[in-house]
Amino acid sequence: MQNLLTSDAPLGESDRLERLALGQANQAHAQTQTMYGPVVQFMQLPGSDLEQFEFISPAAFLNYLSSACNEFSNMLAFPNNSATLLLYGDEMTPGNPLRADGGRALLNFYYTFLEFPSWFLHKKDGWFVLASLRSSLIKQINGGVAGLITRIMRTLFVDDSTASLSKGIFLKVGNKTELIHIKFGGFFGDEKGLKEFLDYKGASGVKPCIGCGNVVNFEHKVAKRDLGEIVTLAEIDRTKFIQMTGPEVYRMHDRLEEIVTTRAKGFRDRLDGLEIKWGVNYNPHGPLADRALRSIIDPVQHYLRDWQHTFMSSGVAVLHIASVVRVMKAKKIEWDVLDNFSKEWVYPRTLKPHPDLFGKKYFDRKELKVKHFSSDVLRIIGILNMFMQLVLKPAGLMLADCHCFNLLHRITVILQRSPRMTPTLHATLTGLIDEYAEPYAKLYDFAIKVKFHHMLHLPDNWLSLGWILSCFVTERKHKDLKLASLHVYRGVEHTTTTNFLNWYMQEAISGRLRFKCNYLINPRVMSLPAGCSHAHAAEPIYTAGSMQTQCGLACKGDLALIKLPSSDASGDAGAQISECVGRLCGFFTSNDNDFYANVELFTPVDTDGYDWDMSSPSSEIINATMISWLLTYMERRPNVISICMWRR
């Protein structure tokens, strides 16, 4: 799975020039008429200065794509013909993201369905574009971002138009046409995005968590005055949280509305005070005020936290890394030792090595920041943990820090390897997060922010969905939208949307975009030695040096954990001897359905499964579904490797 977090398979021969030509010449897909109208439609914003904007109608788009692409239509066989829509929204800046004015920032909305298989939910092409709108236009919409969300949700689920999802949509499923029922499953995004969608106060309010009635942010001045039966962001005892429900949040908004509409004496002061206290803003155009949306949106259940934002970007893991760096500095541990250690590790081929992963300039121990992209932060967790376990711990240095960081690594390994959330995994993960939170709160009390609290909610959030979700995939999706909006200065919404749509449809129809979990990249027909007669001439064998697998793009030469038949499938398999380490040497198939890999399997050096001897590997052919994780490793002694994995 870790490669699904960082890369999608290259789409073969598709290149930029072709994309550009498509964008200019082929507008046909956007104008295609379906039974739900054209694929690109206008969303009306009555009463706002911005009256309408263009978006890709999900009903029309899915209807069109399912009829144009068989591989996609085969994916729509949902249980009971029903699907659950997740809506993601986030800001993206084309061009230079460091421009002080934010440049031409776009607010992008994507969606997917929970019933898709996990590999598709973790692929950027498994998230469909709904709309891309200049952020500068938001102020022209009544109610701001929350007002826009109201219109989007009404358009998708309430309005009585033919393209509304509320009555279900007809899609081609395999060889038949089926009516697919669609319900709403939740909002997905970063903390800032989620609070803007529903107009919560978030981290800036006294009550930063909408799910808990009594958790307060002590940095807020109101909290300093008003200490009731409350707990702080550092609280790790879950039994002390007073759980809020969706109807309770609606009631709070109704009380605010009552104060405004009756204009009670001193209402402005009371309103401000209550908004801060309850963590909810009064917004007459927001989704909380819209009675028609109350049967569709649950403001607590549908606030979906993801682990990329909770742990990575300014999240718990970043604060943890910066705190460890701070302690290392205080203990006078030489940075160069860590830097040199980090350069010994070898990554899977698709993870491009960062030239300066442990460059000092990326670590700000005063502000507790790590100036790296999330995928690099994930890498740092692995390598820094190995440094602590293999170098500091044996030297008796920073033992409490080593224990705590090992738990963080273990959590992130499980999150990467286990997309499906089962009750067993829920219990494991809840226990592990609690076990981690306790030493963290003691060692780094200066580094407790709102995301530390959100971390405690993650297992429950995911159990209700059945999946462990992260925004790594949607962040990668932004790259496609950046390409579609590059050098577009006029009619930004129209051009970005149609450019993207035309490119996606063309890739899907041409077969370059595959709706399959496993496939070979640039396969070749295996040539047989001269004079050798081929017994199965009707079935050529295709071979390739790289292959898209359930754990991402695997390449010849990569080291992988190979699941042995007796292996524990719960996803909590750390380094266990029931999994073997081997080198991938090539991939083949004869039917584009069953895939195999040539591997060289290594021998374990000891029983814990961390060190492997490469000197006399055994060659085997395995089913490609047995490849369960692509490894980062280091050769610690000649022919003996250590794998990057949390340590027992």
* 598-605: long-range pairs with CB below 8 Å, 24+: 599/560, 599/562, 601/562, 602/641, 604/577, 604/580, 605/640
Six-digit token pair at 291? 């009675």
Which CB sits closer to Zn ion, 212 or 455? 212
Which CB sits closer to Zn ion, 126 or 211? 211
The Cα–Cα gap between 477 and 446 comes to 35
In the complex, the smallest distance separating the C-beta of residue 63 from Zn ion, rounded to whole angstroms, is: 40
In the complex, the smallest distance separating the C-beta of residue 562 from Zn ion, rounded to whole angstroms, is: 40
Which CB sits closer to Zn ion, 242 or 427? 242
In the complex, the smallest distance separating the C-beta of residue 316 from Zn ion, rounded to whole angstroms, is: 14
Which CB sits closer to Zn ion, 147 or 211? 211
Using CB under 5 A as the binding rule, whether residue 212 contacts Zn ion is answered as yes
Candidates 209, 297, 304, 338: give the one binding Zn ion (CB under 5 A).
209
In the complex, the smallest distance separating the C-beta of residue 319 from Zn ion, rounded to whole angstroms, is: 18
Six-digit token pair at 381? 């967790």
Using CB under 5 A as the binding rule, whether residue 244 contacts Zn ion is answered as no
In the complex, the smallest distance separating the C-beta of residue 208 from Zn ion, rounded to whole angstroms, is: 8
Among residue numbers 590 through 629, which ones bind Zn ion (CB under 5 A)? none
Among residue numbers 444 through 463, which ones bind Zn ion (CB under 5 A)? none
Which CB sits closer to Zn ion, 211 or 523? 211
In the complex, the smallest distance separating the C-beta of residue 308 from Zn ion, rounded to whole angstroms, is: 19
Which CB sits closer to Zn ion, 177 or 232? 232
Exposure pattern of 227-238 as b/e (b: 16+ CB <10 Å)?
A: eeebbebebbee
Which CB sits closer to Zn ion, 209 or 437? 209
Candidates 57-65, 205-213, 501-509, 636-644: pick the segment binding Zn ion (CB under 5 A). Answer: 205-213
In the complex, the smallest distance separating the C-beta of residue 246 from Zn ion, rounded to whole angstroms, is: 14
Using CB under 5 A as the binding rule, whether residue 89 contacts Zn ion is answered as no
> 300 with 279: CB under 8 angstroms?
no
In the complex, the smallest distance separating the C-beta of residue 237 from Zn ion, rounded to whole angstroms, is: 12
The Cα–Cα gap between 471 and 90 comes to 10
> From the CB of residue 26, how many other CB atoms can be counted at a distance below 10 Å?
15
HEC profile of 626-641: HEEEECCEEEEECCEE
In the complex, the smallest distance separating the C-beta of residue 618 from Zn ion, rounded to whole angstroms, is: 51
Binding pattern for the stretch 151-190 against Zn ion, x by CB under 5 A and - elsewhere: ----------------------------------------
**Continuous H helices in 444-576:** 450-465, 472-485, 492-510
Rg (CA), the chain: 26
Candidates 155-163, 204-212, 377-385, 522-530: pick the segment binding Zn ion (CB under 5 A). Answer: 204-212
Candidates 118-126, 211-219, 395-403, 506-514: pick the segment binding Zn ion (CB under 5 A). Answer: 211-219
Which CB sits closer to Zn ion, 189 or 211? 211
CB-count exposure of residue 31 (10 Å: 0-12, 13-18, 19+): exposed
Candidates 101-109, 208-216, 250-258, 399-407: pick the segment binding Zn ion (CB under 5 A). Answer: 208-216
In the complex, the smallest distance separating the C-beta of residue 283 from Zn ion, rounded to whole angstroms, is: 22
Using CB under 5 A as the binding rule, whether residue 211 contacts Zn ion is answered as yes
Residue 52 has phi, psi (to 5 degrees) of -160, 160
Which CB sits closer to Zn ion, 210 or 443? 210
Beta bridge partners of 599: 584, 620
In the complex, the smallest distance separating the C-beta of residue 149 from Zn ion, rounded to whole angstroms, is: 22
Angle between the N-to-C axes of helices 450-465 and 316-330, in degrees from 0 to 180, rounded to the nearest 10: 140
Candidates 122-130, 210-218, 498-506, 626-634: pick the segment binding Zn ion (CB under 5 A). Answer: 210-218
Which CB sits closer to Zn ion, 205 or 211? 211
Number of chain positions touching Zn ion (CB under 5 A)? 3
Instruction: Put the strands of the sheet holding 552-555 in their side by side order.
Output: 519-520, 546-549, 552-555
Maximum Cα–Cα distance across the chain:
98
The Cα–Cα gap between 530 and 72 comes to 40
Using CB under 5 A as the binding rule, whether residue 299 contacts Zn ion is answered as no
Taking alpha carbons only, the member of 62, 78, 32 closest to residue 171 is 62
> 547 with 516: CB under 8 angstroms?
no
CA 468 and chain centroid, separation: 9
The Cα–Cα gap between 38 and 27 comes to 12
Which CB sits closer to Zn ion, 154 or 453? 453
Which CB sits closer to Zn ion, 213 or 523? 213
Candidates 127-135, 201-209, 391-399, 497-505: pick the segment binding Zn ion (CB under 5 A). Answer: 201-209
The Cα–Cα gap between 608 and 381 comes to 21
> From the CB of residue 539, how many other CB atoms can be counted at a distance below 10 Å?
9
> From the CB of residue 194, how many other CB atoms can be counted at a distance below 10 Å?
24
Beta bridge partners of 38: 33
In the complex, the smallest distance separating the C-beta of residue 245 from Zn ion, rounded to whole angstroms, is: 13
Q: How many residues does this entry show for the chain?
A: 648
Q: Which spans of this chain sit near Zn ion (rule: CB under 5 A)?
A: 209, 211-212
